[in-house]
Amino acid sequence: MGKKLAYLILCMFILLVVAGCKKKAAGPKVETIEGVTYIHNQATPLHPDKTVTFEEEFTFKEKDETGEIRLFKPGNFAVDDQDSVYIEDKSDMAIKVFDAQGKFLRSIGRQGSGPAEFAGIDEVIPLPGGRLLVTDFEVRRTSFFSPDGRFLTSFQWKKDYGRVHLVGNSTYTVDEIVFNKDKNERWIKTIDFNGEEKVSFGKFTYPEFKRIQISGGAIAMSVPWSPSSVFAGDEKRQWLYHCPTDRYLIEVYDRQGKLFRKVDRPYEPVTVTREDIDKIKARYIKKPDSPVAKIFQQMALPKVKPIANRLFVDSEGNLWVQTNEVKKEGDKEFTAFDIFNPDGFYDARVWLDTSPERFANGKMYRMAEDAETGLYQVKRYRVVWKESRLPSTDHPGGGGTLS
Which domains, ranges and CATH numbers included, belong to the chain? 33-270+305-402 (2.120.10.30)
**Complete DSSP assignment for 92-144:** TTEEEEE-TT--EEEEE-EESSSTTEESSEEEEEEPTTS-EEEEETTTTEEEE
Burial of 36 (0-12, 13-18, 19+ CB in 10 A): middle
Tell me the β-bridge partners of 105.
Answer: none
For the chain, the farthest-separated pair of C-alpha atoms sits apart, in whole angstroms, at: 90
Burial of 306 (0-12, 13-18, 19+ CB in 10 A): buried
The pLDDT score that the predictor gives to residue 375 is 83
For 189, how many CA atoms within 13 A lie in the half-sphere containing its CB? 20
Q: What is the pTM of this model?
A: 0.89
The pLDDT score that the predictor gives to residue 3 is 59
What three-state secondary structure class fits 232?
Answer: strand
Q: Give the C-alpha distances (Å, rounded to integers) separating 5 from 8, 9, 16.
A: 5, 6, 17
What three-state secondary structure class fits 293?
Answer: helix
What three-state secondary structure class fits 89?
Answer: strand
Q: How far apart are CA 45 and CA 346, in angstroms?
A: 5
pLDDT < 50 regions, the chain: 17, 21-23, 390-398
User: Contact, 352 vs 399, CB < 8 A?
Assistant: yes
The pLDDT score that the predictor gives to residue 400 is 58
Q: How far apart are CA 336 and CA 359, in angstroms?
A: 18
- pLDDT (tens digit, 9 = 90+) per residue, 86-140? 999 999 999 999 999 999 999 999 999 999 999 999 999 999 889 999 999 999 9
Q: How far apart are CA 357 and CA 21, in angstroms?
A: 34
The pLDDT score that the predictor gives to residue 289 is 78
What three-state secondary structure class fits 357?
Answer: coil
The pLDDT score that the predictor gives to residue 290 is 80
Q: Tell me the torsion sign for CA atoms 301, 209, 266, 390.
A: negative
Q: Report the candidate in 95, 90, 102 with the shortest Cα–Cα distance to residue 126.
A: 95
Q: How far apart are CA 303 and CA 136, in angstroms?
A: 37
Q: Give the C-alpha distances (Å, rounded to integers) separating 54 from 32, 333, 367, 377.
A: 37, 17, 13, 16
Q: Report the candidate in 213, 170, 212, 209 with the shortest Cα–Cα distance to residue 186.
A: 209
